[in-house]
Amino acid sequence: MTFSFPKYPILSTVLMSVAIVTIQPGYAENSAKIQPTIQTNYNQINAAFVRRDITGATALFTPDYVNTNTDGKKQTLAEFREHYNNLFTRFNIKLTSNKATIKNIDVKASGIDVAIKQKTEGTVAGFNKIIINQTSRDSWLKTPQGWRLKESKILTSKTTFNGQTFKG
């Protein structure tokens, strides 16, 4: 059933505005209810990275997960896992802290988009200090197993190596 007010376009506009204002608080309420769960998921993912547990870190990812870096290069879940395994083993990277802070959650019909700020600290080869600051936009899907990370788009990334900005 559709409603049309061709003779009264202002009435149509007012009713639509009222409907949007009425619906919008529901989204805020949903994002407020969802945020603690998503923050817990980020905490679990980050704790697994600090333990160098790639399987654990990606346990909450969908099988078709895609990571996109600031240059637009995409990695599948398998490529993402291989990349981090190489970093941890080949370059002896050890993370001392890894923290995601949720900045915003947008509830959508298909799931949620989460804006985060991530700060990662650690060492390379046992003594070189590395700090990575990133912002990203992540897409999460609600599944029968809970919320799963489907896509990450890194928006900004800055790495310092022994206090100097690293350009790689």
- pLDDT one-digit tens code per residue, 43-86: 999 999 999 999 999 999 999 999 999 999 999 999 999 999 99
Nearest to 62 by CA among 1, 143, 160, 155: 143
- CA–CA separation, 168 and 17 (whole Å): 49
**pTM of the prediction?**
0.80
- Concatenating the DSSP letter of every residue in 83-150 gives HHHHHHHHS-EEEEEEEEEEEEEEEETTEEEEEEEEEEEEEETTTEEEEEEEEEEEEEEEETTEEEEE
- pLDDT one-digit tens code per residue, 94-124: 999 999 999 999 999 889 999 999 999 999 9
- CA–CA separation, 78 and 131 (whole Å): 25
Mean pLDDT of all residues belonging to the chain: 86
Domains of the chain: residue spans and CATH: 9-166 (3.10.450.50)
